[in-house]
Amino acid sequence: MRKEITINGEISHYSGVSDKNSIAIELNGKKFIFNNVSVDNENIYFEFNGENKSLSYFTHSGSTFCDVYGKSFHLKKVEKNFSKSSVGSGEGLVSPMPGKIIKVCREVGDLVKSGDAIIVMEAMKMEHTLSAPNDGVVKSINAKEGELVEGGLHLVDLGEVDDSK
């Protein structure tokens, strides 16, 4: 059965079949065979393309965190009804990383053009400007100047300009 997952935020489809200690994974239409698979606490050992390999992993509330030779992975099953609503129809701005809100340049109700600066953030020693991705009207702002925010937080909602007025 094909399953929908996100790999570091990217939607992917996979299926897995095991036969004794071999596992075949089909990922986005490509097939990969892992032989001599064994699990020892946080480590998985296997043979892949003729080479012995290992990786470490950890499962936490439905997420799998794993490390492939220094590269970090976060895999998560896509929840069907959840995925639709979280994408939503509204456009907006999301904090790209944790940091401090330096400046909120616009107010709710303001008309903005694509590329207009709405929020200026600071993380470490650098400033980062969050600009409108398209023309629209600012519907809500979920950030205050001086506030510390996490990465991935929805900061600004943009709506379509109502031409009828």
Partner 1 sequence: MGQVIKKILIANRGEIACRVMNTCQEMGIKTVAIYSKGEENALHVQMADEAYDLGEGTLAETYLNKVKILEIAKMTKTSAIHPGYGFLSENTEFCELIEKNNIIFIGPKSEHIQLMGDKITSKNKMMEIGVPVIPGYQGSDQNAETLKKHANIIGFPVLIKATAGGGGKGMRIVFKEERFFQELEAAKREALSSFGNDHVLIEKYITKPRHIEVQVMSDTHGNHLHFYERECSIQRRYQKIVEETPSVALSAELRKKICETATVITKEINYRGAGTVEFILDTDGKFYFLEMNTRLQVEHPITELVTGADLVYYQILVAKGDKINLRQKDITQRGHAIEVRLYAEDPSNNFFPTTGTVHYVGKQKRPGVRLDTGIKDGDIVGVSFDPMVAKLITSSQTREQCIEKMKRAIVEYPFLGLQTNREYLIKVLSEDQFISGETFTSFVEENSHLSESEISDEQKAMATLAHFLSSRAAKGQKSGSTSVVDSSDIVQDYSGFRIQDI
Q: Does residue number 147 form part of the binding site for partner 1 (CB under 8 A)?
A: no
Binding-site member from 1, 2, 9, 71 for partner 1 (CB under 8 A): 71
Rounded to whole angstroms, the Cα distance separating 93 from 141 reads: 9
Q: Does residue number 123 form part of the binding site for partner 1 (CB under 8 A)?
A: yes
- 132 burial level (CB within 10 Å; 0-12, 13-18, 19+): buried
C-beta closer to partner 1: residue 28 or 140: 28
φ/ψ (deg, to 5) at 28: 45, 40
Q: Rule CB under 8 A: which of 95-114 touch partner 1?
A: 96-99
Helix (H, G, I), strand (E, B) or coil at 84: helix
Q: Residue 91 has which token pair?
A: 């456009």
Helix (H, G, I), strand (E, B) or coil at 152: coil
Q: Rule CB under 8 A: which of 27-46 touch partner 1?
A: 27-28, 30, 32, 34, 37-46
Site for partner 1, rule CB under 8 A: 5, 7-8, 12, 14, 16, 18, 20-21, 23, 25, 27-28, 30, 32, 34, 37-46, 48-49, 51-60, 64-75, 77, 96-99, 123-126, 128, 148, 150-151
